[in-house]
């Protein structure tokens, strides 16, 4: 419990710093916060960190948490601002699991733009909404 509290505190501090430094640049780069889940009453808090370097996107889902996943593949279709992300990580039990995310960017001109769509983690399918901090 203490480790979880410390991790959460560190994560929140990182978010606070990032919010001050909120940047634009590449449309996907930044810290995104939101939730995903198979139903409106079954939601999972999620943080996605994405970085853009030259022509490559890298990033992590829920960095620092037991269910963290590394983004292993990405595609941004800038003709309609749709996004495909693939990630590999663990579930809460530590078992390897793949995540597939398909979404669309909205409010593109805002630093606090929104990415929403479908989220599949293992066999569980749902929807998601992320807002860039």
Contact predicate 77/89, CB 8 Å: no
Task: Mark 7-36 with x for binding to another protein (rule: CB under 8 A) and - for no binding.
Answer: --------------x-xxxxx-x-------
Tokens for 62, please give them: 């829920």
Give min distance, CB of 124 to another protein, in A. 30
- Assess 110 for contact with another protein (CB under 8 A): yes
User: If we measure between CA atoms, which residue out of 75, 69, 73 comes closest to residue 104?
Assistant: 75
Residue where the block lists tokens 């853009």: 52
Tell me the number of residues near another protein by CB under 8 A. Answer: 21
Site for another protein in 87-106 (CB under 8 A): none
- 6 three-state secondary structure: helix
Give min distance, CB of 23 to another protein, in A. 4
Give min distance, CB of 100 to another protein, in A. 21
User: If we measure between CA atoms, which residue out of 131, 132, 130 comes closest to residue 118?
Assistant: 130
Tokens for 108, please give them: 């593109």
Give the footprint of another protein on this chain (CB under 8 A): 21, 23-27, 29, 52-55, 76, 78-79, 81, 107-112
């Amino acid at each position: 419990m203490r480790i979880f509290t410390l991790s959460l505190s560190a994560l929140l501090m990182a978010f606070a710093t990032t919010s001050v430094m909120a940047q634009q640049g590449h449309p996907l780069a930044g810290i995104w916060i939101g939730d995903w889940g198979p139903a409106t009453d079954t939601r999972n808090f999620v943080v996605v960190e994405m970085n853009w370097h030259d022509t490559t996107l890298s990033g992590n889902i829920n960095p620092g948490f037991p269910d963290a996943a590394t983004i292993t593949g990405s595609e941004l279709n800038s003709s309609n601002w749709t996004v495909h992300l693939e990630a590999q990580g663990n579930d809460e039990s530590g078992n390897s699991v793949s995540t597939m995310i398909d979404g669309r960017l909205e409010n593109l001109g805002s630093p606090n733009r929104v990415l929403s769509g479908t989220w599949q983690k293992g066999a569980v399918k749902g929807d998601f909404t992320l807002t860039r901090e």
